[in-house]
Each structure stands twice: as structure tokens, then as C-alpha cells.
Chain A
């Protein structure tokens, strides 16, 4: 069965620290990859997405993610986090065989201390 694994369930950082959240998936075919963010009290928002082409994708708010096909990974990064980045981050994968069925990771809760 397809699955998405997010390595870190809870991350606590200080402002200006660098961030990397791991995401691995299990599916051998063509995939589209997403990171969604859910700020406290708000709805899920798309942070960035990968369809094809350059495996390093830039998202909103200074986030980026790198698709490494050989490692089935799509890790999220940000060089310097801010307090306002405190949120829940979800990695999601869609494969070519499922019409718009996203498989989600369990999420990573990020707390940034000022």
C-alpha cells in the first residue's frame, strides 16, 4: 500500500535556526508531491508542489523542497525560521493511478520559539 512517512512528529526550534522536515513515500511510479501547512486555527494551505522538471521547488514564505527520486524523498527546508512559521506541516503524495487521491503523512508539528 502506498504510504507517506514524515520522520519528525514534533520539532522545536529557535528563531533563525534552519529547518528540514523529512518526507518519504512508497510508490514507484510517477508522483506529484505537495507540502501543506496548517497555521493554528486556520485551514490547510498549499506551501509548495512538485510536478516535474527542476527537483528543487520554491514555495511561499521562503520554503523550498527537493525531490530526490532515488530516495523517494521530498524534504522541506527553510534556511531561517520565524516565530510565525509555527504550524503543522503535512507532506502529501498523489500518484498517476489515483485520480486526485492524496496520500498524506501524519504531519509534523513545528514550534518556533522567539
Chain B
């Protein structure tokens, strides 16, 4: 089985631009979460989607948005990019409902650099 796949792997944007990051969960997984990992820090929760609905949102500005498609893949959009948005963006999927404790399976991430 393929793991969680994210695209692109690397991306360079300039301030003020918009970016779309994509994630395909493990087959059968209905939940997708997005995390931002700044160098030297732990991942920060951005969004969680389950069955195409937003189920959780972290402390990120409205410039960050996401959606989940009928095939459970997901996109993360960031508008009006700032230098501080430079980070590794991780997508994780899980195979359960909202029951606690289902392990997350992470993709390799998209490295976003904003110049």
C-alpha cells in the first residue's frame, strides 16, 4: 500500500503569493490533518478534515484554508504568503472515525520556502 503522498516536495514562493499543497491519504483513510513544522520545533496543528468536513482548526490566521475532496485527498491553501510561512508542511491520515488514539500516518511533507 502506498503511504501518504504529498506534492510538491519542495516549493519556493515570494511574499504575497498564494500556494496550494496537496495530500493523498492512505487508501481507506477518511481523515486528513495538516501540520506546520518550523525548523527546530515540533509540528503545529493547522486543520483536520474527516469525511470532507472540517473537524478541527489550530491557531492559524484565515490566510490558511483547506478542503477535502470526495476521494479524501486534501489541499492546503495559504494566501498572502509571509516569510514566516516558510516551513515543512506535513499531511497525516488516519483510518478511524474521531475515536481517540488512532495513529497518524505522515507523509514526507512539502518544504515551502518564502523569499
Interface residues of chain A, those whose CB is within 8 Å of chain B, are: 4, 32, 34, 36, 42-46, 49, 51, 90, 92, 94, 96, 98-107
Contacts and interface: CB of A to CB of B under 8 A. Distances in A.
Contacts of B109: 43
Nearest to A45: B106
Contact of A104 (B44, B94, B103): B44
Contact of A99 (B44, B56, B90): B56
A43 B104 contact: no
Nearest to A100: B48
Given A100-B33, A100-B94, A51 B100 contact: yes
B64 interface: no
Contacts of B33: 100, 102
B107 interface: yes
Interface residues of B, number: 29
A91 to B, nearest CB: 8
Nearest to A32: B101
B90 A101 contact: no
A16 to B, nearest CB: 28
Given A43-B107, A100-B31, A100-B48, A94 B101 contact: yes
Contacts of B31: 100
Contacts of B105: 46
Contact of B104 (A4, A102, A103, A106): A102
A54 B15 CA distance: 50
A101 B45 contact: yes
B101 A101 contact: no
Interface in B1-60: 3-4, 31, 33, 40-45, 48, 50, 55-56, 58
B45 A102 contact: yes
B103 A107 contact: no
